[in-house]
């Protein structure tokens, strides 16, 4: 199959038109006419992955390798160093980022990872209901995501009845939320300060930890293409001490 044919399959599965205005999902590297026989699924692209991938493969990633324009190709910098290697090995790349969040990833995490029934979905936000103390619910979340260094924001002591979820980095959405607790990653200091004012409990579920399911979700939808589709063992760039 060609990259273009695979692109059409992906677009039907999770339309690229749904991506956020700041996003860069779609074809990042390669040609629509390029023939490929192997697809590799990964959250990101790093040097180890490029060393292991066969020449002429297609890597489908969650995060775009290029978010904005590149003004220089300094081979010692990111992402230029990776782009040069990809061009040398004729490796193509398609990213499925915020479009896939809306159509697949957030719902999968709510239903399959946390085992909850979705009550409402509003673009990137998933809502579900429960009746738990914050301490008990937080313990369940830590176990479900395998969090080694969990952190939370406790703004109230009410029973948690409605929860909002956004995988990846969704703290900027907190002002839109009507819930007792918000699950997302990359919660910063000033996010926590704002959550306190808003009266919103939060649990940081990690950026990598909440998105690492990308490959296993997408592999199921690509199994009928007649191509080899493998999931790369994506690694968290952070090392926890």
pLDDT tens digits, one per residue of 180-237: 999 999 999 999 999 999 999 999 999 999 999 999 999 999 988 889 999 998 888 8
pLDDT at site 240: 82
Confidence check: pLDDT of 1 > 90: yes
Instruction: Classify residue 37: in a domain, yes or no.
Output: yes
Does one domain contain both 197 and 127? yes
Of 171, 84, 57, give the one whose Cα is nearest residue 125.
Answer: 171
Least confident of 4-13, 124-133, 168-177, 227-236: 227-236
Does one domain contain both 81 and 133? no
Cβ atoms within 10 Å of 83's Cβ, excluding its own:
21
Instruction: Classify residue 162: in a domain, yes or no.
Output: yes
Q: Is the dihedral of CA 188, 192, 194, 198 positive or negative?
A: positive
Does one domain contain both 44 and 119? no
Higher pLDDT, 154 or 73: 154
DSSP H helical segments within 28-161, as ranges?
Answer: 47-52, 80-88, 98-100, 106-108, 134-145
Q: Look up tokens 């890597």; give the residue.
A: 59
Instruction: Classify residue 92: in a domain, yes or no.
Output: yes
CATH number for the domain spanning 143: value is 3.40.1390.30
Does one domain contain both 165 and 216? no
**Structural domain span for residue 191:** 100-205
Instruction: Classify residue 105: in a domain, yes or no.
Output: yes
Does one domain contain both 63 and 145? no
Does one domain contain both 60 and 83? yes
CA dist., res. 27 & res. 93, Å (int): 6
CA dist., res. 17 & res. 12, Å (int): 11
Sort residue 115 into left (φ over 0), alpha (ψ -120 to 50) or beta.
left
**Helices and strands (H, E) in the chain, number of each type:** 9, 11
Instruction: Classify residue 76: in a domain, yes or no.
Output: yes
Does one domain contain both 81 and 175? no
Does one domain contain both 60 and 118? no
Burial-class residue 74 by CB neighbours within 10 Å (0-12, 13-18, 19+).
exposed
Find the Cα–Cα–Cα–Cα dihedral 223, 19, 116, 142, rounded to 10°: 100
Instruction: Classify residue 236: in a domain, yes or no.
Output: no
What's the total number of domains in the chain?
2
Of 127, 115, 106, 124, give the one whose Cα is nearest residue 181.
Answer: 127
Per-residue model confidence as pLDDT tens digits over 11-60: 999 999 999 999 999 999 999 999 998 999 999 999 999 999 999 999 99
DSSP, collapsed to helix, strand or coil, labels residue 207 as helix
At residue 69 the predicted structure's pLDDT band, cuts being 50, 70 and 90, is confident
pLDDT at site 71: 85
Q: Look up tokens 């026989």; give the residue.
A: 37
Does one domain contain both 156 and 216? no
Instruction: Classify residue 221: in a domain, yes or no.
Output: yes
CA dist., res. 164 & res. 160, Å (int): 11
Does one domain contain both 104 and 195? yes
Does one domain contain both 45 and 124? no
Instruction: Classify residue 44: in a domain, yes or no.
Output: yes
């Amino acid at each position: 199959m060609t990259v273009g044919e695979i692109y059409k399959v992906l677009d039907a599965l999770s339309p690229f038109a749904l991506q956020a205005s700041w996003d860069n999902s779609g074809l990042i590297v390669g040609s629509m006419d390029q023939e490929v026989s192997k697809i590799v699924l990964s959250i990101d692209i790093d040097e180890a992955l490029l060393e292991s991938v066969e020449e002429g493969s297609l890597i489908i990633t969650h995060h775009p390798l290029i978010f904005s324009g590149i003004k220089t190709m300094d081979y010692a910098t990111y992402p230029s160093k990776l782009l040069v290697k990809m061009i040398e090995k004729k490796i193509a790349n398609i990213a499925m980022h915020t479009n896939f969040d809306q159509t697949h990833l957030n719902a999968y995490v709510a239903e399959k990872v946390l085992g909850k029934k979705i009550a409402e979905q509003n673009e990137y936000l998933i809502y579900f209901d429960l009746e738990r103390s914050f301490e008990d619910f937080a313990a369940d979340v830590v176990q479900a995501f395998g969090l080694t260094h969990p952190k939370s924001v406790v703004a109230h002591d009410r029973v948690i009845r409605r929860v909002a979820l956004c995988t990846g980095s969704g703290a900027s959405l907190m002002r839109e939320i009507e819930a007792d607790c918000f699950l997302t990653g990359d919660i910063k200091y000033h996010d926590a300060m704002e959550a306190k004012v808003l009266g919103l409990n939060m649990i940081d579920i990690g950026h990598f930890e909440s998105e690492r399911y990308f490959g296993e979700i997408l592999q199921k939808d690509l199994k009928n293409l007649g191509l080899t589709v493998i999931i790369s063992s994506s690694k968290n760039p952070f090392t926890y001490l």
